[in-house]
Amino acid sequence: MKSFRFRLLIAGLAVLMGTVAGHSQTAEDAPPPPPMHGHHMGMGMGMGGHMAFLAKQLNLTDDQKSQMKAVWQKESPTMKPLFQQQRLIDQQLRQYVEGSFDQDKVQALANQKAQIQAQMTVAETRIHNQMYQLLTPDQQGQLKQIEAKHEARMQQHMNQQPAPPPEQ
């Protein structure tokens, strides 16, 4: 359960990071959006809505926003090639979906993708930690409360039984 909470915290910080990057940069120099590893990131009001919500709820100062922007700009060159490598592997995997399947080649690509994802996880966690440290203790507490409420909603959603299929 603690691991899930940590991942939720990381997801919330990813949203917060994207908010800062999105609101403080022009379209030309904006970094790519952070990856969405969990289904919870893209549901509901969408990524932009979550970002704006968290930025508003945490009441970030202009100084915090600029510091978070600086963290993102410093780390973006590390993330960009990883995103590109992952995209290239996904394109290569597509040929085995659409063409003939080769177990060994797909396994090799999957192993490469796993290594890239591990590097991305380390980099993302480092970025999120740096940004989390920029929050005041009150903001950190608010973020934890927001995440706890979100986790409770997700748990409730996951515990709901699917509706029975309609009778014909």
pLDDT tens digits for range 94-114: 999 998 999 999 999 999 999
Q: Which domain holds residue 21?
A: 2-154
Q: Tell me the whole-structure pTM to 2 decimals.
A: 0.63
pLDDT of residue 87 exceeding 60, the answer is: yes
Question: For the chain, first and last CA: distance in Å?
Answer: 41
Residues across the chain: 168
User: What per-residue confidence (pLDDT) applies to 54?
Assistant: 72
Are residues 21 and 69 in contact, defined by beta-carbon separation less than 8 angstroms? Answer: yes
pLDDT of residue 151: 94
| Residue 9 CA to its chain's centroid (Å) | 10
Contacts of 130 (CB under 8 A, 6+ apart): 71, 75
Go through 129-160 and write b for each residue having 16 or more CB atoms within 10 A of its CB, e for each that does not: ebbbebbeeebeebbeebbeebbeebeeeeee
Q: Has residue 163 been placed in a domain?
A: no
Total number of domains constituting the chain: 1
Q: Could you read off the pLDDT of 24-49 as tens digits, one per residue?
A: 443 334 444 443 333 333 333 444 45
Residue 117 lies in a domain: yes
Residue 168 lies in a domain: no
**For the residues 129-145, what does the mean pLDDT come to?**
93
In a domain, 64, yes or no: yes
66 assigned to some structural domain: yes
